[in-house]
Chains A and B, each alone.
Chain A
Amino acid sequence: MNARVLNFLGLGLVGIVGVAFLILTPRLAELDTVLDLTVYMIMAILALSLALIWGYGGILCFGQSAFFGLGAYTYAIAMFNLGESTIPLLLAIALPAAFAALLGYFMFYGRISDVYLGVITLTVTLILFNSVNSTAGPEFHIGVARLGGFNGIPGIPPLNYPGNKAAVIDLEGMFYLSTAALLATYFGLRLLLASRFGRIIVGIRENERRAELLGYDPRAYKLATFTIGGALAGFAGCLFANWGNFVSPTIFGLAQSAQIIIWVIVGGRGTLIGPIVGCIGVQWLSAALGANQPSGSDWWARILANVPLILGIILVAFVLLVPKGLVPTLGEFGLWLVRSRARRVATGLKPKQAEKG
């Protein structure tokens, strides 16, 4: 019971904070901050997609960037060919989902698990990277859209209000859209996880064999989870292509897929709010470190402004010291505080009772 109450409180809190953030930010913050936040929101959706399939589905996917990139490219290509964003948006969700379903079928019905899953997904995203990266020549185009190889596709037309080409969504619009999308994704996933389906996939993560012996078919459930994750990642990719109006093959690269995993680890596997926090935190950090580079050759300044170095230390530190991730650990700490508080109160009461007695 108590847990449930806390749970609802938590949900409510997230809701309120989220909406407040959505409404207030553009009024209070500078435009460039709003723009940065927009991309963080978008990436947070990507983080959630992995949070679902890894944190809850127990599927270690090293190639989440594959679906992200597919979404972005699909949107870009469809947009150049169609010019009206409704269908491209839908395609950018459907195609990665379909691809995920295909790949998932290939893997789960082939009984491939843990590390091997990791390798296959990683390999897939590398294949995409290599292939797309070598499409610089003019002969590579889909409809009117040049694939552009290493340079990628610049100047992607932004989303417009469904049906009306002219009514393009502006920068603030993008912020509202992304933030709303993130909130929707978050609560959507909460619902999903509270449903039969959600509890079952968690069960399968906990003990696949047992779930099987109870009559659940793990392959089907994993496939479904993986597909949903792919769709979400694709959606994030579409928004990303909108935010920067460009997409390039690095979106499929090792660095990108690795980054997603860091977000989830830092934030906390098996939570939803964690990966969001991790994602925003890590991105903000690497942006902050990248800005204001020391324009000199001072060794120590260089070390401190050395982004990979800092990120590396953070990652190692987290795995060693905060293996559960930020949010769960803080949660436990909070509970501990409450408990010890309660204990103190209880012990404080005793003597009084003694006097009474």
Chain B
Amino acid sequence: MAAPLLETRNLSMRFGGVQPVRSVNFSLAEGELRCLIGPNGAGKSTFFKMLTGQLVPSEGQVLFRGQDISHAYAHQIARLGIGIKTQVPSVFDGLSVRENIWLAANRIHSRERAGNVVDEMLERLGLTGVAERLVGQLAHGQRQWVELGIVLSTDPELILLDEPAAGMTYDEVHKTAQLVREINRSKALIVVEHDMQFIRMIAKQVTVFNQGCVLVEDAVENILRNPLVRDIYLGKQAAA
């Protein structure tokens, strides 16, 4: 089997007393699509933050293509080719949709090239209509799309999606799922999601987080059957 694209070796995070992530060993192959599930506070977002350099791990390593990036700055990691769509859309509210995408495309493309890339991306995400609107004025769903567009425009090797379907209508969810699959043809993804239907639509392999540890890792159908998962996760959801 080929060397993994991304690998973490007993990665841990500690804030004072609490320890949201505990020695996680995780591995993702080139071009793989992996789903990350687990109840709130299982450490998924913290995990993502460490992968993208927003947090420096207290222990352990993050290897991207065998290179240790656990102490790299966020912008360096981004340049290595890891993009993230955060849970709460993080976009440039004061700028127009076009400018948002442009800022991303501009980093990797020449000035004239960037222009075209932006147009294509707007087209692809169906944002052409609102291209000149300020992102701050858009609806939540659309902001999600804009952020996705930003991430894609930097053309990363690995894309982290933190709850891409959150707060979306049913057909928006569908659209997103389609897009994710389409993206996956060329790129590796890690998707954090609660929405089981969405997961069914996209996932093959699923990793379950619980209390900062990897609980199980298995094919989606087995996971859905796994009673343990049901208890700690679906059970909770059902209760909620």
Contact = CB atoms under 8 A, between A and B. Distances in A.
Contacts of A199: 99, 102-103, 106
Contact of B78 (A202, A203, A212): A212
Contact of A3 (B102, B107, B132): B132
Given A199-B102, A202-B94, A214-B107, 4 more contacts: A207-B93, A213-B52, A214-B150, A218-B75
A203 B103 contact: yes
Contacts of B93: 206-207
B83 interface: yes
A3 B52 CA distance: 37
A210 B91 CA distance: 7
B74 A212 contact: yes
A311 interface: no
Nearest to A202: B95
A217 B91 contact: no
Interface in B83-100: 83-84, 86, 90-95, 99
Contacts of B99: 199, 203
A209 interface: yes
B200 interface: no
A215 B78 contact: yes
Nearest to B108: A215
Interface of A: 3, 196, 199-200, 202-203, 205-207, 209-218
A206 B95 contact: yes
Q: Which 5 residue pairs across A and B have the least CB separation, nearest first?
A: A215-B78, A206-B92, A215-B79, A212-B74, A217-B75
B144 interface: no
Contacts of B106: 196, 199-200
Contacts of A213: 52, 54, 74-75, 78, 83-84, 86, 90
Interface residues of B, number: 27
Given A196-B111, A199-B106, A203-B103, A214 B132 contact: no
Contacts of B190: none
B138 to A, nearest CB: 14
B155 to A, nearest CB: 11
Given A199-B106, A203-B103, A215 B91 contact: no
B54 A209 contact: yes
A211 B91 CA distance: 9
Contacts of A209: 54, 74, 90
B78 A200 contact: no
Nearest to B153: A214
Nearest to A205: B94
Interface string B145-159: 000001000100000
Contacts of A202: 94-95
A225 to B, nearest CB: 16
23 contacts: A196-B111, A199-B102, A200-B106, A203-B99, A205-B94, A206-B93, A207-B90, A207-B91, A207-B93, A209-B90, A210-B90, A210-B92, A212-B75, A212-B78, A213-B52, A213-B75, A213-B78, A213-B84, A215-B78, A216-B75, A217-B73, A217-B75, A218-B75
